[in-house]
Structures are given as structure tokens and as C-alpha cells.
Structure 1
Amino acid sequence: MHEEDLIIRPALSEDEKELSELNRAAWSWLSDVAPQPPEGEPVFDERHTPDQFRLAVLGGRIVGYVRVVPPTPLASNRHVRQIQGLAVDSSVRGRGLGRALVEAACTAAREDGARRITLRVLGHNAPARRLYEACGFAVEGSLTEEFLIDGHYVDDIWMARRLTD
């Protein structure tokens, strides 16, 4: 991949079908706590709107996304954003797209006035944890055996990154 080939852009409502296909294809017990979404299940709804998503587009095809939202509707928490979804097509993994999406999420959060960005990652998801650490996130907490996934108890790891100097 040449960096100039990669476009990171906001999602549009017309991206729904392609995004739904990517979401289903990228699903894994390594990263997801719910069963695989059925074919054709929409990604966008009243709680998941296109403005929350940044897409990675390579060769005109959506190959990844990150979703960034305020973690709560509270005014006292308005300075924080949370990554609530990151996916990269398996055919392009290992080329820096995940990192580009995480950095795009941080930039968007900072431009929106956030001072911090947080996320939750499953304890057994070592590739994602390495990616987030490489992007400056640090573990701030852990909920031991929070999920029972595919017959195994899995920790829920909370990570965060400061967006101000």
C-alpha cells in the first residue's frame, strides 16, 4: 500500500451496504462480544449515525472504519470521546490502516474539543492491544472475567490517551 492511495473520510449514508458487509466480514470472537451480525444487518441506526464513523478507503473500496462517540450524554463528560468500534478488512491488515484509523479518531476527537479518548478492548485481543499501545493508549483499568465468550471468560480492558499536551 502506498500511503497516498489511502483515504480516510467521514462516512456517508450511502456507505451503509458496503460498511455492513465489512462489519460482518471483520467479525471475530477475538474482538466482539455479540454474535456475528446477520447478512444485510444495517450499521446505521438512531444510535449509530454516519457522522460517528471515519472510513479507510483504498482503491475506491471501504477497507476499514473507526467509530468515535461521546461516552455519555453528560455535560460533565463532554471533554471525552470513546472509540466504540474499529475494523480493518483482513485482506489489508498489517499495512498500517488500523493505526491510521486510530489516529484519525484522535484527530477528530481533538478537533471536536475532546481532551481524552478512551476505549475498551478484550483482554485476549493482543493485536488490538498492541495497536492501541503503539498509538499512545495506556491501560487504566480492567474488569476481570467480564465476558463469557465462546466458552471462555475474558477480561474487559479499559484504555485511554490524553489528547492535549
Structure 2
Amino acid sequence: MPEFRDLRIRVAVPDDDEGLALLDRLAWSHLHAVVPRPQPPYPPFFSDRHAPEDCLVAEVGDRLAGYIRLGFPTPVEANRHVLQIQGLVVAEEARGRGAGRALVRAAVDEARRRGARRLTLRVLAHNTPARGLYAAVGFGVEGVLPEEFRLDGQYVDDVLMGRFL
């Protein structure tokens, strides 16, 4: 599938809440989610933990194609030089067309802009598409938590990845 020519990455705004929440629910899968499938009433996408400015959005025309969310890995001040990718979702119809790669590259740029020294993430071991994407943009495996999660009756490793900025 060809890459999008009209893909645009921007910082989320409060009005994106409903669209991003819907995108999140539609993309839910145990390939990347360790929490149960969301059920109504659905919580808002943005919260005290994740504000709109912590989220970069991919758009194609006027449609949301995906998002990536940044946050701090811990609440510890001594860890403030590290940012963490705390969510990456690409709409089904946008997969394989460059939206995920553009979002990760934009997150790297945003982390640098914020003065971070490192960018990290956690990804489930069986999510080979995401692991390949992260490796292609410079993330390396820094650790593995064996059988950290039990999903659909199977134990799944949690893979820690990171890169210096």
C-alpha cells in the first residue's frame, strides 16, 4: 500500500477527545492492550495523567489516522530526563501506509524539543509489527519481563525498548 501524501502530524486539542477515544476503542486488541476491552460508559480520552499536549495526532485530510501519547515513566524528579511512549494507535485503514512511522518520528522530535535525553516504551513481545516499527526508528531492546501478562490464556513477555536522543 502506498504511503499517505497528505498525512499531517499535529499536537492534539481538547476537541479531539471524542474522536481519539473512539479510535482507541476501535483499535483495541490484546496484541497491544493489557486491560480488558472498554465497556460503556466510556471514560474521556484526556485526563489528569494525559493532557491534549501530551498527544500527537496523525490526520489524513480531516480524518484521524492515529495518535501517539508521551508521558513520564515515573513520578520521580530524578527521572524527568526520560520520556516514555505511553500509547500508539493507528486506525486499521491507515496501517502500513507510514502513519505509525511518522508518529514515532514526531514523538522523537517532540521529546528532543522538551529537552529529554532518552525516550522509552514498553511493547508486548507478540506485537511484532510494533516491535519492527520501533526498531526501524532506532529503538533497541533494553530488557524483557518474562511472562509479565496473561492475555487470552497465554503468558506474554513485556519488552522494554529505548533510545538516546
Same fold at TM > 0.5 = yes
Misfit runs of 4+, over 2 Å: 1-4, 38-41
- Does structure 1 residue 151 correspond to structure 2 residue 143? no
For residues 136 and 89 of structure 1, what CA distance do their matches in structure 2 show? 23
TM-fit CA distance, 1:102:
0.4
For residues 29 and 160 of structure 1, what CA distance do their matches in structure 2 show? 22
TM-score using structure 2 length: 0.95
Change (3 A) 1:91 1:3: closer
2:109 match: 107
For residues 75 and 153 of structure 1, what CA distance do their matches in structure 2 show? 33
Equivalent residues in 2 for 1:4-153, closer than 5 Å: 4-39=5-40, 40-153=42-155
TM-fit CA distance, 1:114:
0.5
For residues 73 and 17 of structure 2, what CA distance do their matches in structure 1 show? 23
For residues 80 and 46 of structure 2, what CA distance do their matches in structure 1 show? 23
Cα displacement string for residues 101-120 of structure 1 (whole angstroms, at most 9, x for unaligned residues): 00111100000000100000
SS of 1:100's equivalent in the other structure is helix
Letter in 1 for 2:134: Y
Cα displacement string for residues 117-165 of structure 1 (whole angstroms, at most 9, x for unaligned residues): 00000011111100000010000000000000011000000000110xx
TM-fit CA distance, 1:18:
0.6
TM-fit CA distance, 1:59:
1.3
SS of 2:147's equivalent in the other structure is strand
TM-fit CA distance, 1:30:
0.4
Letter in 2 for 1:34: V
For the Cα contact (< 8 Å) 2:55–2:68, is it kept in 1?
yes
For the Cα contact (< 8 Å) 1:24–1:38, is it kept in 2?
no
SS of 1:38's equivalent in the other structure is coil
SS of 2:15's equivalent in the other structure is helix
For the Cα contact (< 8 Å) 2:85–2:121, is it kept in 1?
yes
TM-score using structure 1 length: 0.95
